[in-house]
Amino acid sequence: MLDAAKISLGIHPVTWTNDDLPELGAKIPFEQCINEMAQAGFEGCEIGNKFPKDPIVLKDVLASRGLQICNAWFSTFFITQDKKDIVEAFIAHRDMLHILGAKIIGCSEQSNSIQQTDRPVLADSPVFSEKEWRKVADGMNILADLAAEKDMKVCVHHHMGTGVQTPEEIDRLFDLTNDNVYLLYDSGHIVFSEGDVQVAYDVLQKHIRRVLHIHLKDVREVVYHEAVKNGWSFLYAVKQGVFTVPGDGMIDFKPIFDVIAQSSYTGWMLAEAEQDPAKAAPLKYAKMAREYIRRVGGI
């Protein structure tokens, strides 16, 4: 069983409003989102597109609901953009998160990403050359050192449609980066990438010492097979409901919880489900996720 003294439980605001697909949850106000997060029994969240931009305002309004920010997505483009511009944007992002009390900065290398295109995500995801891998790794090393200046840490989100998607690409990243570059582990993305729940267990077991942040996302098997068969894009698969909350899909999370419990992992686990809130009522699914974690994980 998981140790409640070591694990903080949160939920991602994408359950209510989607950053990549703003039409999903467009009419759901920020206040509903955070009120229902708290009502479902979660302690914190990441930052969504409707959250106040002023970190002091955001910190106060979340605290009034017993919530806090634990992380916020940061896109890097070390292959296709100027490193100086990325570093400048990262410092501003880091300082904002520092004000909010977050310790984690989740990064995703978006150079040549097809994440937001209509291209088939399993066939057309980018493949980095050796030179490109070096640029990504060197950039992440720089960001990790900058994060350390504020006693914060960088973790890389393996994500569908990017050049860090497969187990082999995760391995390559960590072969090239320093020990202070960590992994944001996402159960749903690795299962979508490989079509095999066992691979999700294996990746977590292999890299648990470098896992610093966890997204608990489930996959609907029937929808996944349709995505494979028809060559769906990432966003089309999301709209069709390929993802759901833990306990509602093809992943048995007990082996994941067991690996975490048997490790020295201390930090956040976030329930996450990129799906259409008009089809999947956010509060209902948030409560479903919280109950499943309590029943299967023991916290």
pLDDT, position 179 = 97
Going from the C-alpha of 39 to that of each of 130, 162, 287, the distances in angstroms are 48, 34, 8
Give the tens place of pLDDT for each residue, 90-100. Answer: 999 999 999 99
- Concatenate the DSSP letters of all residues of 183-230 into one string: EEEEHHHHHHHHS-HHHHHHHHHHHGGGEEEEEE-EE-HHHHHHHHHH
243-244 and 218-219 beta bridge pairing = antiparallel
pLDDT, position 40 = 98
Give the tens place of pLDDT for each residue, 193-230. Answer: 999 999 999 999 999 999 999 999 999 999 999 999 99
Q: What is the CATH number of domain 7-297?
A: 3.20.20.150
pLDDT, position 72 = 98
pLDDT, position 103 = 98
pLDDT, position 139 = 98
CB 188 within 8 A of CB 218: yes
Report the C-alpha gap between 201 and 254 in whole angstroms. Answer: 10
Report the C-alpha gap between 181 and 11 in whole angstroms. Answer: 23
pLDDT, position 45 = 98
3-state secondary structure of 260: helix
pTM of the model: 0.97
pLDDT, position 266 = 98
pLDDT, position 154 = 98
Give the tens place of pLDDT for each residue, 159-185. Answer: 999 999 999 999 999 999 999 999 999
In tens digits, what is the pLDDT along the chain, a chain of 299 residues?
999 999 999 999 999 999 999 999 999 999 999 999 999 999 999 999 999 999 999 999 999 999 999 999 999 999 999 999 999 999 999 999 999 999 999 999 999 999 999 999 999 999 999 999 999 999 999 999 999 999 999 999 999 999 999 999 999 999 999 999 999 999 999 999 999 999 999 999 999 999 999 999 999 999 999 999 999 999 999 999 999 999 999 999 999 999 999 999 999 999 999 999 999 999 999 999 999 999 999 99
